[in-house]
Amino acid sequence: MGRRRQSVTIKHVAADAGVSLQTVSRVINNEPNVRPAMKAKVQASIEKLGYVPSIAAQRMSGSRSYLILAINDRDRTIADWKARDGRDWVDQMLLGGMLTAAELGYRMIFELVDTHSDHVERELGAAIAALQPDGVIVTPPHSENAQITGLLAESGIPFARIGSKEAGPGIAMTMGDELLAGKATDHLIELGHTRIGFISGPAEYSLTSWRVDGWREAMANAEFDCDGLLERGDFGFESGLAAARALLDGEIKPTAIIASSDQMALATLEAAKERGLNVPKDLSVISFDNTPIVRFSNPPLTALDQPISATAARAVELLIDAKKNGHPSEPVVLEGELVVRGSTARVAAGARA
């Protein structure tokens, strides 16, 4: 039986180079006060032995942990995972955050915390104490939870608040929700629609009001009325179904509907089918999110693609850079795009009245 190859450690590098463990650590972490000749000697040993620095070795300098912590809402995330209905918020966040962290010599750790729990401070405090992260990414609704942001501010750890643009500690980041809602509305207006309904998300998310504001502003700019064309959901299918039914059965019949999540947009397709309406001939539909499932709906949904991966990647970059250069004083905005598919079309001539 072959002998198992022993992994190369920082101790092997130090012995080969004839230097201390601390010197190797300083070279790995690109710390100052290392003579060029000594640095070259250590680098030569690293290359010779094929050594790959571990987080433990990087942390020996004591200045950084080389970990970024990302937290998401426990209840909503677990519900999405169990439903297995195509939502990929977490996947996209990990895609952008983990790859960027790895490129910069870091690792990203993902944790679930219940934003409504009485134990939220204890849960987050325990995670911070155990991991000692160099930065934290906070997602909605955590990003506007004063308990969470206050605890992070007190700890002195840089953190990014995705889905928040309010003044306060941390790096405020948004995905241009108001701009995207306006972009969707303008697209429908260009197709001749004047009665454009909107299904918003829950009030606990600030992005809900931003999206409604974007829709209202675009409608006002075109001198179209919004009265009777707004309903609220909770991002889920059932709430979207109730909201779509209310709009389609209301006094002012919309010729188009923008839904604030893919699940609510899929529910709108169902509500239209119940009423014998053809999408997009009788009703155009646009969704937020652009998760994988919308490409396989009938018809495929026109959707607002949110730059979740790019936002998480940028958050990692800003957090790593924060220790040296601080962080932006203004909210960082990464705007997505409108992906046009088969659920939107020019309004039928008879529907203009």
Which pLDDT tens digit goes with each residue over 233-249?
Answer: 999 999 999 999 999 99
The lowest-confidence range among 91-100, 110-119, 220-229, 290-299 is 110-119
* Average pLDDT of span 346-353: 68
Mean pLDDT (the chain) is 86
* Cα gap 186→188, rounded to integer Å: 5
Token pair recorded at residue 307:
């730059």
Place of tokens 């909503």: 76
pLDDT value, residue 300: 94
pLDDT value, residue 30: 66
At 140, is the pLDDT very low, low, confident or very high (cuts 50, 70, 90)?
Answer: confident
Find out whether 207 and 165 touch, Cβ atoms under 8 Å. Answer: no
Sort strands 107-113 and 159-162 into parallel, antiparallel or unpaired. Answer: unpaired
The answer on pLDDT for 118 being more than 80 is no
The answer on pLDDT for 60 being more than 90 is no
Phi, psi of 162 (to 5 degrees): -75, 135
pLDDT value, residue 353: 47
pLDDT value, residue 271: 97
pLDDT value, residue 77: 82
Rg (CA), the chain: 25
The CB-side HSE value for 41 (13 A sphere, CA atoms) comes to: 15
The lowest-confidence range among 22-26, 186-190, 294-298, 315-319 is 22-26
Phi, psi of 41 (to 5 degrees): -65, -45
The CB-side HSE value for 331 (13 A sphere, CA atoms) comes to: 18
Phi, psi of 70 (to 5 degrees): -115, 130
The answer on pLDDT for 298 being more than 60 is yes
